[in-house]
Amino acid sequence: MVEFTYNEMMERWDAELPYELGDLKEMTCVASIDPETNTITFWKPLSVTDVRSIVLHYDELKFQLSRSPLDDLKPEVHFELDPDGTDDE
């Protein structure tokens, strides 16, 4: 599972992957992504599967950040039961 944290000091996204050594389990920063230039800097050697996962998750993160929260709201639909305003009796 890839997690992204925004590094405010460096103004970049840090990609973290789970790391396990014996009983020690933690998230380790394996890559950094510069949002302005979209360049990825890898800090640890990774498998192709991990690189692919980081790139796909970052693409999804960019899409979510570019969406407006108002996109989820649907416009209200107003309709009249009888469009002419009379009763059908």
- With respect to residue 67, please indicate whether it lies within any of the assigned structural domains: no
- Phi then psi dihedrals of residue 24, to 5 deg: -85, 120
Extract the tokens encoding 7: 């590094």
Answer whether residue 60 is part of any domain: no
Q: What is the CA radius of gyration of the chain?
A: 23
pLDDT in tens, 21-79: 999 999 999 999 999 998 999 999 999 999 999 999 999 999 888 887 776 676 766 66
* DSSP E strand stretches across the chain: 3-7, 12-21, 24-34, 39-42
Predicted confidence at residue 64, as pLDDT, reads 87
| Within-domain flag for 76 | no
The mean pLDDT value for 16-22 works out to: 93
Does some domain include residue 62? no
| Residue 59 in domain | no
Report helix, strand and coil shares of the chain as percent, to nearest 5.
25, 35, 40
Judge whether 53 lies within some domain: no
pLDDT for 44 equals 94
Check if the beta carbon of residue 2 is closer than 8 Å to that of residue 57: yes
Domain assignment present for residue 69? The answer is no
Q: Kindly state whether residue 1 falls inside one of the protein's structural domains.
A: yes
> What's residue 35's pLDDT?
92
3-state secondary structure 32-46: EEECCCCEEEECCCC
- What range defines the domain where residue 8 resides? 1-48
Tally the domains of the chain. Answer: 1
